[in-house]
Amino acid sequence: MLMGLSWRLVCICFVELAVAASMSGADGTVRRALPVQPLPAPQPSASPTFPLFRTSGVADDPVGATGASIYPADAPQTAASSAIMIDARSGAVLYMKNPDIRRPVASTQKLLTALILVQDGNLDAADRVISADCQVEPTKLGFRPGDVYSKRQLLAALLVHSCNDAAVCLARNEAGSLSAFAERMNAKAFSLGATESHFVNPNGLPVPGQYSTARNMARIAFAAYHEPILRQYMRLTGFSFTYTSGRHRYFEATNRLIARSPMFTGMKTGFTEASGRCLVSSASYGGHDVILVQLGGTLHFLFDDAQRMLIWGLDRDGRAVASR
């Protein structure tokens, strides 16, 4: 039965990739315009529904796996230096590889920034841009001092296209200063069990003393995945941003995985020279949901590794694996 499920999942991915290829010209250019996806409308709830959120036991070592550098031994492997996969409903570990090594995690820590903002609420409140917000590099929204945007607009830019200037603007307006927001990030991380992490800024750009682990990021991602609003944003393949001037710009998602199949439900990419390629990804199929964290990877393998491992994870019974 598991073999049959794996085959069906693989077929879904290959069929959708074949359709995308058939829509390209001989020179590889796509013959259709990119779809303009509006921001998701506020919703009181969103499917799928999850058990009551908890923090205890999330991403803890399975029985008999404590101290193992790789678990289980027969799992497909990733080129990432550190990785962990958990059941997104129970928090049980399905796979891990060097999960407790401290390392920079780049823009994947924007999941924590977004989590704080969403849990604070009032996403339709206005945030004003100041000059310091515009000086952040390299991935930028490109707004100007004096512009005013809703938190909802900036949150989309942060999660979908990983805009560093949007993260700074949001954090400063939310907490009064970047240092104050970093204190909130560390407090929230600690409350989620991410006790081997220290965050200094809201966007993950390199700075001394900023680090996390694959296990800690899985605990943060678990909390983010249980927020319906974040799930709506993280699965967008792109969105149209309207500037104060009236200009429109389309931003594609940095997460290439979500365009491959609807089963891939998003989360967050990250890259700096110090961190290597990082990806927190998620997938859902047949009532199963999994989250994968890859840190210190390479662009050549990152998304293909994620696809292969997520399909493997969807074919597992998280409770059975955790109880071995």
Active site residues: 107, 110, 162
Q: Residue 22: is it exposed, middle or buried by C-beta count within 10 angstroms (0-12/13-18/19+)?
A: exposed
First to last CA, the chain: 20
Q: Say whether 305 sits in a helix, a strand or coil.
A: helix
Please name every residue paired with 24 in a beta bridge, in sequence order, or none if there are none: 30
Q: Write the CA distances from 170 to 18, 65, 106, 129, 187, integer angstroms.
A: 39, 40, 18, 9, 18
Cβ count near 296 (within 10 Å): 21
Which stretches of 109-213 are assigned E, i.e. beta strand?
126-128, 148-150
Of residues 184, 153, 185, 183, the one with CA closest to residue 169 = 153
Query: For residue 245, what are the contacts with CB-CB under 8 A and spacing of at least 6?
Result: none
Which stretches of the chain are assigned E, i.e. beta strand?
70-71, 82-87, 93-97, 126-128, 148-150, 238-242, 248-252, 264-272, 276-285, 288-297
